[in-house]
Structure 1
Amino acid sequence: MKQVLILFCFCISLSTMAQQQAGPIREAMANYDYETALGLISKETPTPQLTFQKAQALRGLNRYREALEAFREVVAGEPENLRAIIEMAECCKLSGRFTEGLKSYEQALALTPENKYLQLQRISLLCIMEQYAQARRFCHEVMANDSSTAVMRLMAQAQEGLMRPDSALYYYKTIVEKEPHDYLSVAKLANLHINTNAPQEAITVTEKYREKDSTNIYVNRQNAQAYCLTKDYRKAIDRYEYLVNQGDSTRMTSYYLGMSYYAIEDYYGAHDFLRIAYKYDPKNINVLYYLGRACAKTSWKKEGVAMLNEAINLAIPSDSIMINLYNGLADCCYYASMYKEQVEAYKEIYKYNPRKKIMLYTIGAAYQDYLKDNKNAEKYLELFLKTKPKGEGEDPKMEKGTLVLGEMTHYTVAERRLNTIRKEQFFKEGQKE
């Protein structure tokens, strides 16, 4: 009896100590003091509960890789621990491990198929992964029993991703009708109107929202852009200046504000904001063009010249790029048996590089072999032969087991081709007589 009593007291002592030690950990976790929590946990004998808390603390400190390892450890030992699986999925999502995160959500849904939170998180992740068709399918399944705006918002996102703007517009409009204070849906709806060339509709939607809240940065951005696109530049400037005063110096805000100033011939204002847009996107031809024009009409005239020259250089591809493109086009035309188009591509190559005389031979041979057009074949082969330099010919070479014809050898072959064409022409003319 005495031994039992001693054992009982010992167990109570251990339990009390564990509770005393767990208390500070819980308190640190509750106060988001994750560094302290991790320090306390490291001093304890590992248990599934402590490993779970460790993973939470690591996630709270954005140490996702370590957090994920800890969550995996918990789930490996307790494969039906729903909370640990969900936390693991969330951690995967935050760390960019989307495929693993999706598998974790599927694992959690296998344990609780009707869990609405998990259903929405799965759809949200599918949208992030741009798997819009699958996201739409799951949205339809959820919407059979749920018509909440949360589901409709995901459906609208999926429809937008599938390039179905009409369907996306329908869902965003429905959301805004149900929840007129949903600023993200208002901004999305306005952006869709802008993208479908209906800026006046965007103005209507955003102005209605601004009657309730004129400060929202996302709605004001769409509102300002819509005014700019309808050429109401002074109204656009008013909206964009408000955004700038609120600390918005993003590329799009700077670009459209600069363009609005340019449109009303306030070139100094245009210069200031297009200069900011240029820092974000120095290779944007539109920015370079309008910034250069604004520079020319203000105090930065030489800089304006440099900007326009840069825009021209970007707008006109280099000769080497064009030659590569037309070479590729010629190959594609050959394999598609589009020989006329192939010859036209060869002509473009020669136009960009007239020093490459061999192209005249290539064009002539193509006319002769593929198009059976001896008249044009003769024309280009004669042009090629006129470029023949004085001197002796050269013998064909072997490179890696392949016969390689030098330019001088091509002149010999061109002469043979011309002789063949002229013989055929002679016999044809003789038969006519």
Structure 2
Amino acid sequence: MKFSLFYILFLTLVNLGVAQTNKQKADKLFALGNYSKAIEHYKSLDNVEKVYDKIAKAYVAIGNYSEGISFYQKAIDINPDNQLLQYDYAKLLKQTKQYSKANTIIKNLIDSDSLNPNFHYELGLVLEKQNDTMAIEAFRNTYNLDKSHQKAIFKIAKKHIIKRNFEEAHQLIGKGLKFYSKNVELISLKAQAYYFQEYYTNAVVWFKKLIELGESSEFIHEKLSLSYAQNSDYEDAIFHRKEALKYNPYNASAIFVIGSYYERLKNYEKAEVYYRNALDIQDVSLANEYQKLGIVLNRQKKYDEAIKAFETALKEDPTDIMTEFYLIRTKDEYYADVDAKISLYEKFKEKHKDNPFTAIANRRLQELKKEKFLEKN
């Protein structure tokens, strides 16, 4: 009898040791990221119900969200008062776009612990997805409970910027940066706020902070370029627009803008190159682009090429009086025949009897007629 009791006790201890060893193996596999193997080991345990949460997390880790949801539900059925399980489950429901279910669970969590800021923040995220205007109130509740909550500060400050409440946005962002000075999301918001306020010098400072922190994107460099250009710092504007082009090398509008910056710097040769490149890429009406090309060719005294560019622009938009006048002025420079020049201006006046260029045309006609008179005498 004593031997039987001893034997049963021995087997119990052995089985317990084996179970603990299998659980430890599964935990180790989970910790090392070998989730599929971990799931196999967890499911082989006799008391598998105790590790439903681990199985759920492992399924989520490998992207099998349906199984993850299933095992979270099983775990919650066994542990209905476990807030951490419900919190993780709600976040998974949000991730899988089951917003109504997530909403219900998170509101229940808030009812049980209204002082947890992250419960309010998660509710805000779900309400955002549901296009519910109360989302911002959830983020404000988060901030009121935790003044250092970076994500809530971002959400509230962004809303201020959208509503053009710039001063409120700057104050809130400043408070957030005191807790974490390298928060690139808040720094980006501050830069954008200054940009929208048209405080371009300040915008440059904050966009550059993003670059100093290792952030680089088409958006950052484009906004930096535009900010520099507003302050007439065209060389810096060109540099950053070229950096932006690395992300989208066939952006014809950006290439065209670079050409306009070179034109402002009176570097007409480079302006010509970029205008031509922009024209080669675009497949829309190019009247404006050809007009600009004609202007920079004119500046370089490439009159024959400028004439072709203006003529092409007029084919793209025959109603553009400005381009038509540029064409006449270029032919005026290029042609030697005074009578031909006079004819150009007279035909232009007859065609456009009331236009902004009439005074210039009349003045030039007088000059040409005087020139012709002097030649005869």
What is aligned with 2:344?
none
Tell me the distance in 1 between the aligned counterparts of 2:74 and 2:174: 45
What is aligned with 2:84?
83
Which deviations, in whole Å up to 9, do the C-alpha atoms of 1:179-227 show, x marking residues without a partner? 44222111112223333444344224334x26x8164215545423423
Cα shift at 1:256: 6.2
> Quick check: 1:258 aligned with 2:259?
no
> Quick check: 1:156 aligned with 2:162?
no
* RMSD after superposition: 3.9
Checking the alignment, whether the CA contact within 8 Å between 2:42 and 2:48 is kept in structure 1 is: no
Structure 2: where are the runs of 5+ without partners? 264-270, 295-304, 318-377
Checking the alignment, whether the CA contact within 8 Å between 2:117 and 2:141 is kept in structure 1 is: no
Residue type of the alignment partner of 2:147:
S
Give matches, 1:237-276, under 5 Å.
237-244=238-245, 248-249=247-248, 254=251, 257-263=254-260, 264-265=262-263, 266=271, 268-269=273-274
Cα shift at 1:109: 3.0
Cα shift at 1:259: 4.0
Checking the alignment, whether the CA contact within 8 Å between 1:98 and 1:129 is kept in structure 2 is: yes
What is aligned with 1:61?
62
Q: Determine what percentage of the aligned residue pairs are the same residue.
A: 11
TM-score, structure 1 normalization: 0.55
Residue type of the alignment partner of 2:134:
Q
> Quick check: 1:293 aligned with 2:294?
no
Tell me the distance in 2 between the aligned counterparts of 1:92 and 1:175: 29
- Relative to structure 1, is the Cα distance of residues 173 and 164 closer, same or farther in structure 2, using a 3 angstrom cutoff? same
> Quick check: 1:216 aligned with 2:212?
no
What is aligned with 2:103?
102
What is aligned with 1:421?
none
Cα shift at 1:54: 1.8
- Relative to structure 1, is the Cα distance of residues 86 and 178 closer, same or farther in structure 2, using a 3 angstrom cutoff? closer
What is aligned with 1:404?
none
Checking the alignment, whether the CA contact within 8 Å between 1:190 and 1:222 is kept in structure 2 is: no
Tell me the distance in 2 between the aligned counterparts of 1:27 and 1:52: 15
- Relative to structure 1, is the Cα distance of residues 30 and 54 closer, same or farther in structure 2, using a 3 angstrom cutoff? same
Partner SS, residue 212 of structure 2:
coil
What is aligned with 2:173?
172
Structure 1: where are the runs of 5+ without partners? 279-286, 310-433
Tell me the distance in 1 between the aligned counterparts of 2:54 and 2:139: 33
- Relative to structure 1, is the Cα distance of residues 294 and 107 closer, same or farther in structure 2, using a 3 angstrom cutoff? farther
What is aligned with 2:206?
205
What is aligned with 1:181?
182
Number of positions where the alignment pairs a residue of Structure 1 with one of Structure 2: 289
- Relative to structure 1, is the Cα distance of residues 267 and 143 closer, same or farther in structure 2, using a 3 angstrom cutoff? same
Checking the alignment, whether the CA contact within 8 Å between 2:226 and 2:237 is kept in structure 1 is: yes
Tell me the distance in 1 between the aligned counterparts of 2:44 and 2:287: 62
Which deviations, in whole Å up to 9, do the C-alpha atoms of 1:76-127 show, x marking residues without a partner? 3321122221221221232233332233322333343322333333334434
Checking the alignment, whether the CA contact within 8 Å between 2:256 and 2:274 is kept in structure 1 is: no
